[in-house]
Amino acid sequence: MTLVAIILATMAAGIGSVWIAAALLRVGLGGRGRVGPQHLLSLAAGALLATAFTLILPEAFEGEASARELFITLLLGLVFFFLLDKAELWHHGHEHSAAERQLHGHGHSHGHAAHAHPHDLAPHHHHHGHGGWTLLTGDSVHCFGDGVLIASAFVADLRLGAVAALSVLAHEVPHHIGDLVVLRHSSGHRNAALLKVSLAGAVTALGGLVGYYLVGLWDGALPYFLAVAASSFIYVALADLIPQLQKRLTAAQTLVQIAWLAAGIVAVTVVGALAHHGH
């Protein structure tokens, strides 16, 4: 039963997020009063932090492992994701500025956009000469990791797994919007881009399978896996999403950002409370 749930959830998070991103691109994000990528990033950051701190870590600490060992695991996890990021296998934030301008149709001012556009896309042409394979390798590693983490959450508790999968879904959508824009630029083909990113997303399910067997093989490992899952969520939120939100904004825009961040936190906390109540 757990395995079926893991496969369904990882497919939903991995491929569903790509399709949602493609649909949002088609509808056209941004514009006045509509939801833009920035809002999605805020929501995702809130959801990831709340999932890590209010659900995954408390679950990990309920296990047999000592607090000290779990905090060391958390620390090592953060360092590990930092190193993966250095290897460009974890973080996929660099294409957002280009992607966002595409979505909004302009930068802060046309002069600025024209000025920044070539600069932003230049590295990508060199980068994506092979049809964006570098980007997709990073995406696949990231998705595989997400799959392993979702699986360990499911093994701990089905409801926890469901929330973890939703958090992953939330933070993958803004990323995939960026990926699709960049790949369309490099290949010029909308469907090819969608297919490539969907394949990377499908790797999430593979990670889910591997994670399920890893946690099963090594009894007592679950709290450590959960600590690593939490470190991944915290790292993505703090190192990847939040820096993209730290732009100079008007007071009103800042309030909107904070509201979306709070919405992500509240949503997860409420779902977590209900799930716990369900126990």
What pLDDT is recorded for position 160? Answer: 92
What does the pLDDT read at residue 162? Answer: 92
* Separation in Å, CA 45 to CA 195, 206, 208, 257: 27, 25, 22, 11
Residue 91 structure tokens: 């973080």
How far is it, in rounded angstroms, from Cα 58 to Cα 175? 28
Predicted pLDDT at 267: 92
Res 136: pLDDT: 82
Per-residue DSSP letter, 62: T
User: In whole angstroms, what is the distance from residue 165 CA to residue 119 CA?
Assistant: 35
Distance CA 93, CA 37 (A): 12
User: Which among 46, 17, 3, 9 is positioned nearest to 178, based on CA atoms?
Assistant: 17
Contact 43, 266 (CB under 8 A): no
- Side-chain half-sphere CA neighbours of 98 within 13 A: 22
What's the confidence (pLDDT) of residue 107? 37
Below-50 pLDDT ranges, the chain: 94-102, 104-129
**What phi, psi does 247 have (nearest 5°)?**
-100, 165
What per-residue confidence (pLDDT) applies to 115?
A: 32
Q: What is the pLDDT of residue 219?
A: 76
Give pLDDT tens digits for 157-207.
999 999 999 999 988 888 888 888 888 887 777 788 888 889 888 999 999
What confidence score (pLDDT) does residue 106 get? 39
Q: Which two tokens stand for residue 257?
A: 């950002």
Q: Model-level pTM?
A: 0.80
At residue 209, the pLDDT reads 95
To 5 degrees, how large is the angle CA 221–CA 7–CA 242?
Answer: 70
Q: Which two tokens stand for residue 211?
A: 């994670």
Residue partners of 54: CB distance under 8 A and separation at least 6: 268, 269, 272
